[in-house]
Amino acid sequence: MTYPKKASIFLIMEGSYAETVFKFLSKNYSCVGFLKFNVIERVFRFLMTVNGITKYKLRLIAPRSTGGRLTRFLLPLSQVFILLYLFLIPMLVSRRLRKKFDVCIACSWYAGLCALALKRIGIMKKVVYWCLDWFPSVPIAKVGIYNAILNNVIFPKVDRIVAERADACWNLVEAIMTARQTSNPNLFLDNNKVVNPPFAYGNSLEFQGERYSISFFGQIVPKRGLELAIDAISHLKVKGRKIKLEIIGSPPSSEYGKYLREYAKTRGVSDDVFFWGFRPENEIPRIMKHSFAGLAIFQGQPDNSNYTFPAKVIKYLENGVPVIVTKDAFIANEIITNSLGIAINGSLDDLIQAIEKLSSAETMKFFQRKISLYVKKMSRCEQLSKALEELLESRAR
């Protein structure tokens, strides 16, 4: 089998976009290294494909970042280990294969910092900083001194350094470009553009069976509408409508997970709320196939979710599930414009009405047609393909 695009790409990425990006690159480029990391689970996974065939695999676990009173010491230490892993694994791979990579795509500020260091020692020829998130300033009282320093001081400074020195700066959505320019009025980037996330187009889009649940995908944290969703299915149960809530994300043993279990009991729906914890990518379609709505509710002060294309939204759409999103979220306009779901103001009544509307078979068919067309368009990866080809043809800085 021959591949028209002879280039070596190294991808350093976390989150749900990672697998889809890697699959696209593996199909289109002759050599692809993929270092995926999950900060919450502390897992690093390395894969390498040559002409679409997997040649190398590696899995590492980073030290714990929490430990009661020791958290304040373990958390910074775990960040140091993450940086070391992100630097050492590509370096060791390059030395082992006696190979330089044409492009390194780094999808976070700390991965970008490591990629620039790898370029400096000659392992990467070009670096792309693909910024997937923007972290706005937060008060110390809300997140603690360590996270406040990380968000308010370290992130904006390192983001600027990486964006300026990378050969290209890609941004998941335009809101990130606007936020960076607002934070740095004198910053000028000559290769700064929006590159949207790719979608996976699969059979789960066409599932026509019974749908009786709503889904939540992502970290189980406050202000994501989970209490509101439990209240909604409780109200609907009183009216004779039995709807399940499927929660895919943080371990059910987390503090907020325990609280939600107790909250579901007090609302009389403990048997209707399912906590799946973290699940492998190939299991998510099976869990979501009976869902008629996916929750993308953002409450309270703006956070990084207001400056991104949330992974949860992509996961819902890839599985043919219409989205219920709050109107002030950045992604709401995309959902409304393309008829991919319903935007609400965040009240309980609004959520109940949206659930009742989407549970209709006819409404579901309408949204599924729209979602299928949208996902098919986004799965072509046109922006990513064009941006990468332009970079490969340009001169390195």
Q: What digits encode the pLDDT tens for the residues 151-169?
A: 778 888 999 999 999 999 9
Task: Give the model's confidence band at 1: pLDDT under 50 very low, under 70 low, under 90 confident, else very high.
Answer: very low
- The torsion angle over the Cα atoms of residues 360, 366, 371 and 374, rounded to 10 degrees, is -160
**Lowest model confidence (mean pLDDT) among 151-155, 195-199, 264-268:** 151-155
Over 50: is that where the pLDDT of 230 sits? yes
**Which tokens is 130 given?**
């693909």
Which helix (DSSP H) or strand (DSSP E) does residue 73 occupy?
A: helix 71-97
Residue 280, classed as helix, strand or coil, is coil
Q: Rounded distance, CA 340 to CA 321, Å?
A: 9
Query: What confidence score (pLDDT) does residue 386 get?
Result: 92
Q: Rounded distance, CA 172 to CA 189, Å?
A: 16
Task: Give the model's confidence band at 4: pLDDT under 50 very low, under 70 low, under 90 confident, else very high.
Answer: low
**Greater pLDDT, 18 or 302:** 18
Q: Rounded distance, CA 263 to CA 146, Å?
A: 30
**Lowest model confidence (mean pLDDT) among 218-222, 332-336, 344-348:** 218-222
Distance of CA 133 to the CA centre of its chain: 9
> Please, what are the domains in the chain?
8-198+381-393 (3.40.50.2000), 203-377 (3.40.50.2000)
Contact criterion met (CB below 8 Å) for 320 and 368: yes
